[in-house]
Every structure is written in C-alpha cells, then in structure tokens.
With several copies, the nearest count.
Chain A
C-alpha cells in the first residue's frame, strides 16, 4: 500500500496561489492526487482551477477533510506555515520551500516531532523542508518530483537529495524496476524526517520489497540508519552516497570538529553502510544494477 501517501490522501496546498505552488499543485492533481484545497490568507473564497482557497489551514482542513498539507510559501513565511499545518490536525506535512533559516527549522522540526498532534493521534510527519516531496507512483504525487520518470513498483527510495533522487529513480525505471514510494527528505541540517524514521515504515510495508537510501556528506544520519538496518531490517537495502569529490565541508569552528570528529565524509558514510552489510553503488546507474541483483 506504499508508505505515507496514497490515492486516498487528501491534500491542501499552502501557497497554492503562488507561481510555483499553482504549477506543481495542478501537476500533482493531474497525476491523480486529491488536491482538495489551497490556503492563502486573504484569498479565502477564491479558487484556482476549481480548487477552493481558504484563509487558514484550520478552515481548509475543516471544510475539505484534508489529512496532508503541501507547503510552497516563501522562506520568510515558511516556519509559520509549518507550525500552522502542524496545529491543523493533518498527519503529513511536506515542505518544499528552500532557504529557510536553520533556527526556524530547528524550532518547527521539534514542534512537529514532539508537540503537535494529528487528528488521527500521534505526531504528524514532516517531510522536508528543502525537499522535492514524495510520490507513490500510480497512486499520488505531492511535491515537485517529475512523475513521468517513475513507475509503479515495489522498491522504496529515500534520499537527502532532490535531483539525485530523480536520477536514481530514472535509472531504476529504465531497467523496468518500479517504485512503491519515493521520499525526498531534504538536505538541510534540520529536517522533519530522517532515514531512520522511514526504514520501519518500508520494512512494514507489504508493497515494498527493497529500499534505496541516497545519502550526502555531512551529519551522521546515514551511519545511524545503517546500524538500525543491520539490526532490524529483513528487506535488502542498497545505498548511495554522493560527494567523494566534494569540496571540503565548511568547518564549524572547533565546536563542529568536537561534535562531529571525522564523521560525515562520503568515504566514512560509504564504509559505514558497507560495514553494516549494505551494498553501495558508486553512481546512480550502479545503484540501479545493485537493486536489480537484490531483487533477482
């Protein structure tokens, strides 16, 4: 049944009346996603190609029964938009916006993860910010992923990088390997959902047979996820890490070095994945080959 998103998900779009918001929301609707409303303060009562606009997310959710929100508002208003979505009762929040200050991200990530409650109980799931969104091919797409590169299938994919996700999905699809759900979790230092949060969902999903995990330099989320996978996951996972040739990362004073030590390089991550029994492709094409082998 895919994870997080399917054809029954009802989505409101914050910032639907903007240029990017309307372009992608309508594209998402064309794909079959239930885009049931938009939110722009002061434009309540209008509509965008038949999609009703509301002044607040709370009203939009009350009127449409939405259980997900997709956020396209500019960076300076994005934190408020995430808080608003978090308090509206939706279960899934997807924030596409890039360029949000890290202090804002730290605050709303914490609020969504620990404080806000969805109408269905538990805390909502925030995907992003600064992410491409997610797609369950053949069912629904929310965000900016180009759906034509996807195929309906049984491989889950989770990635910190947007365009690299497309690249890997593309390679998979070209080999006839379809996807259950592809999630771009975003590459910012503070994100709502990390690799380790999604692995249990893929493991439990009856429509997923294998998972691709696409990492980047920085942080140690790949390492943490690898450990979890090695201990708990029965389905094959194929890894990829970009950035072997990346410029040396910004060094956050001595404090950064004290905290992260030598962790965070592509080399260290790839080694950590392999040490936990996860095969790592050296480029997107090889990742797709490894997935094909794992499924064979």
Chain B
C-alpha cells in the first residue's frame, strides 16, 4: 500500500531521517495555522498518489501564513490526473539546496533480495536518467540474510559519485533508510530529491513509501493508513470487507478464486467480446460470507449487467461458495443474472447446493466450462 508524502515523511522522521519539519492540513485555516507554527516561508504541497503535481500547480511556496492559506485554498479540491486533493502538507521551505540526489531501497524479486539505488542526478525525472545514462545510477544488491553493511552504502554513494561533502551525511541517511525499509516491512522507500544543503546537511525532501500489506500483523498501526486510500465507492466498500477488488469499468462482474484464474477469466471475457467490470479474487479457503460480500459489492456497481462466478476449488470448497451465493440471493437484491461455474474441491456438493436452491427466477445460471460460462455471461450482459 502506497503512502502519501506526508505519511512517508512522518515514517522517515520516526526512523531518524532528516526531513523538513511539516504539518498536514485539510482546510485552508489549518494550513494557515501550520504555516504560523512553522514560521518563515513554507511549501504547500498537494497530497495525491500520482506524479506531476508540481506541473499541475499542486506545489506552491508561501512567504507567510496568509499566503499559505491562500495556496491551500487553491490546492485543496484541485483535480490532479483524476485524483482529488483532500489534504495538503505544509513544510518549512528548504532554500539552501546545494545538490539534489536520488536514493531508494526496493524489493528485488529478480535477484531474491533487496536492491539499493543511488544517483547524483536527483530531483529530475530519474526514469529518464535510467534510460539515457544507466551508469549514473548505482545499483547494489543486498542479501536479506546479511542486511546492510557499510560497504553496501559505500558502493551506493561512491558508485553514484556524490560529492565528498555529502559522503558522511548520505552514509548515515542511507543506513537509516535501509533500517526503516526492513523494520517497516516496506516494498519501497524512495527519496527524490535527497538533498545536500549549503550547510552540508543531507536530508530527504520527498518520501515515496510503499508498505507490504501482508505484514500488517506486525504493524497494526498500518490499518489506519489503509483507510485513507480508496476513493471509488465500490473499492471503498471492498476495502471495508477486506476483499481483493479492483474496478475495471466493464459490464461483466467477476468473482473467482486465485489471482491467476481471475485474470484468466478477465481474458476469456474479452475473448468472448465483453469487458470485465472488476477484478475480484476471493482467495484460498474463502467462506460463504466472503462470496456474499463480493456479490454485494459488485451489485452496487451500476455498470454491471451480468456476473460470472468462476471457481476452481482447491483450498476453497465449492459447497462454501455455493452457500455464499444462495446467502447473497436471500439477503441482497441481485438485479442481474449470475453465471456460476464450479469445479474442483467439493464442486459436486456445491452444485447440489445450487440445484436445491433453484434458478432464482432465471437469475442463477450454471455453466459447465469456463469458456461456456464466459460466453453466457457476455451474452447476458449484452442482452440485458
């Protein structure tokens, strides 16, 4: 899960990483107060999880609290590439930047460990740098059993060619950044720009943080962070139900078990001439209530014209899924036809449950194969 800049900077600050002091604000008045507390000139920064906010006018410098209030007024509610700005981050403006660097730690699936990266060309489009001058970015593999050692940090820093004046401060900061990366179970910690000030201080002017949702049991405080993300009503509802749901905008609602099978289901719907309304993976071992909750979320999507439930049981059992479907039909208003295809563990028992429940006035249709199910669901979506 991706954090907003202000959340990332708060995480950095806790880890002892130097960041500009700041305050979050959701109203112009809060922004004014924050600027007054900080004193001096401040930056007012739109909190959105999308790039390009600077170009869109989402970052402004204010000389005093009143100007901060005015900027906040302009920025709050702004639409940046489809993201509405609901919060600004007011921070003390850093005016004595000598150099701008780039640094990150990220999970490295290809090489089975962690990857540290650093560049002396920060504050710019680092992807373009990676493209045009790959040697400008030092890349260091870190073994997960070993963790970071001083030589890794030296390889990052000397490999990137940072200024001598930055070596000590950057070494300390990168070491803390890596420790935060591990301790917070992050998938990514990225700083761009990492700056060297004219006073010789090294600090993080931005913070991009992505955390591993699977590690929430070690970090119960992440629950709060998670609540602030979803904006779409279905995604919101799905989050509340802990469903792995992504809206796609088509007309065929999809429920399946296992990411691979669900993706394959989206593909066969497309091959049959339709478009999926969503991705919804109920995962392994789902119980009846999860299926019912999933149907509930899908029904709230007004674009949906039919639903395809595609289950191949393994740890998930067909009878549990069938029970969930019948529960949903009893409790909520299933307005569109639902095509069900069950195979695998306890599929026979599941089909019996459905047969006993009946066809719900033509709204509950069984299919034998995945392709047949997709064809039916697309056909029903088009004809309804």
Q: Which residues of A contact B (CB under 8 A)?
A: 20, 24, 41-42, 44, 55-59, 75-77, 80-81, 83-84, 87, 96, 98-103, 106-107, 109-111, 113, 115, 132, 144-146, 149, 159-167, 170, 187, 189-190, 214, 216-220, 242-247, 250, 252-259, 266, 282-285
**In the complex the two chains form, is A115's CB within 8 Å of B263's CB?**
no
Given A56-B159, A166-B343, A284-B370, A254-B246 contact (CB < 8 Å): no
Given A245-B269, A254-B104, also A146-B313 (CB < 8 A): yes
B63 interface residue per 8 A CB criterion:
no
Inter-chain contacts of A109 with B (CB < 8 A): 112
Q: Which residues 154-212 of B have a CB within 8 angstroms of A?
A: 154-155, 158-159, 164, 167, 182, 185, 187-188, 190, 192, 208, 210, 212
List of A residues within 8 angstroms of B279 by Cβ = 246-247
Chain A: CB-nearest residue to B249: A247
B143 partner, pick from A44, A115, A220, A285, beta carbons under 8 A? A115
Chain A residues, Cβ within 8 Å of B137 = 258
Given A101-B212, A145-B314, A283-B371, 4 other A-B residues pairs in contact with their CB atoms under 8 A: A146-B343, A170-B312, A256-B188, A284-B370
Q: Tell me if B158 and A59 are in contact (CB < 8 A).
A: yes
Query: Beyond A164-B258, A189-B109, is A258–B185 a contact (Cβ under 8 Å)?
Result: no
User: Which partner residue on chain A sits nearest B313 by CB separation?
Assistant: A146
Tell me whether B143 and A110 are in contact (CB under 8 A).
yes
B369 on the A face (CB < 8 A): yes
B128 smallest CB distance to A (angstroms): 10
**B147 — nearest CB in chain A belongs to which residue?**
A107
Inter-chain contacts of B11 with A (CB < 8 A): none
- Interface size (B, Cβ < 8 Å)? 80
Q: Is the CB–CB distance between B371 and A285 below 8 Å?
A: yes
Q: Name the B residues within 8 Å of A250 (CB-CB).
A: 2, 210
Cβ of B55 < 8 Å from any Cβ of A? Answer: no
Complex Cα–Cα for A227 and B106 (A): 26
B223 to chain A, nearest CB (A): 15
| Whole-angstrom distance between the Cβ of B332 and the nearest chain A Cβ | 25
**10 cross-chain CB contacts under 8 A:** A57-B151, A101-B214, A103-B185, A189-B109, A253-B208, A255-B104, A257-B130, A259-B108, A266-B263, A285-B371
In the complex, what residue of chain B is closest to A107 when comparing beta carbons?
B144
Q: Are B371 and A115 in contact (CB under 8 A)?
A: no
A219 CA to B109 CA in the complex, in Å? 7
Partner of A254, one of B113, B127, B164, B314: B127
A246-B106 contact in complex given A59-B158, A103-B185, A255-B188, C-beta closer than 8 Å: no
A105 to B185 alpha-carbon distance, docked (Å): 11
Most buried by A among B154, B167, B270: B154
Q: Are A146 and B314 in contact (CB under 8 A)?
A: yes
List chain B positions with a Cβ less than 8 A from chain A. 2, 102, 104-110, 112-115, 117, 126-127, 130, 137, 141, 143-146, 149-151, 154-155, 158-159, 164, 167, 182, 185, 187-188, 190, 192, 208, 210, 212, 214-215, 217-218, 246, 248, 256-261, 263-264, 266-271, 275-276, 279, 283-285, 311-316, 343-345, 347, 369-371
Q: Whole-angstrom distance between the alpha carbons of A196 and B370 in the complex?
A: 29
Chain A residues positioned under 8 Å from B256 (CB to CB): 163
Given A98-B283, A190-B112, decide whether A115 and B107 contact each other with a Cβ distance below 8 A. Answer: no
Inter-chain contacts of A41 with B (CB < 8 A): 154, 158
Counting chain B CB atoms within 10 Å of each CB, the highest count among A24, A146, A254 belongs to: A254
CA of A291 to CA of B212, assembled, Å = 38
Q: Is the CB–CB distance between B217 and A76 below 8 Å?
A: yes
CA distance A205 to B188 in the complex (A): 40
Complex contacts, A101 vs chain B, CB 8 Å: 185, 212, 214-215, 218
Number of A-B residue pairs, CB cutoff 8 Å, is 238
CB distance from A233 to the nearest CB of B (A): 21
Determine if B151 and A87 form an interchain contact, defined as CB atoms under 8 angstroms apart.
yes
Q: Output the nearest chain A residue to B102 by Cβ-Cβ distance.
A: A254
Q: Report yes or no: A58 in contact with B214, Cβ–Cβ below 8 A.
A: no
User: Do the beta carbons of A164 and B112 come within 8 Å of each other?
Assistant: no
A16 to B141 alpha-carbon distance, docked (Å): 26
User: Bound state CA distance, A81 and B155, in angstroms?
Assistant: 12
Q: How far is the CA of A133 from the CA of B261 in the complex (A)?
A: 16
Chain A contacts for B106, CB-based, 8 A: 252-253, 255-256, 259
Q: Say yes or no: B312 contacts A166, CB within 8 Å.
A: yes
**Is the pair B159, A216 in contact by a Cβ cutoff of 8 Å?**
no
Q: How far is the CA of A75 from the CA of B285 in the complex (A)?
A: 14
Report the nearest A residue to B145, measured CB to CB: A110
* A160 near B270: Cβ-Cβ < 8 Å: no
A103→B144 contact, CB < 8 A: yes
Known A244-B267, A245-B266, A247-B279; contact A106-B113, beta-carbon cutoff 8 A: yes
CA distance A163 to B313 in the complex (A): 7
Check A106/B114 contact, CB under 8 A, given A166-B314, A244-B267, A258-B126: yes
Contacts of B215 in A (CB 8 A): 101-103
Instruction: Tell me the minimal C-beta distance from A223 to chain B in angstroms.
Output: 10
B108 to chain A: closest residue by CB: A259
Residue of A80, A254, A282 touching B190 (CB-CB under 8 A): A254
Give the contacting residue for A259; candidates B115, B158, B261; CB below 8 A: B115
Residues of B within 8 A of A164 (CB): 258, 260-261, 263-264, 312
Knowing A84-B151, A258-B126, the reply to whether A100 touches B214 (Cβ < 8 A) is: yes
Bound-complex Cα distance A41 to B269 (A) = 47
A-B pairs, top 3 by smallest CB distance, nearest first, are A161-B260, A163-B258, A164-B260
Q: Are B117 and A149 in contact (CB under 8 A)?
A: no
- A55 CB to nearest B CB, Å: 4
**Chain B residues with Cβ under 8 A from A98's Cβ?**
283-284
A253 touches B267 (CB 8 A): no
Q: Name the one of A103, A111, A218, A219 contacting B182, with C-beta atoms under 8 angstroms.
A: A103
Judge whether B369 and A257 touch: CB under 8 Å: no
For residue A109, which residue of chain B has the nearest CB?
B112
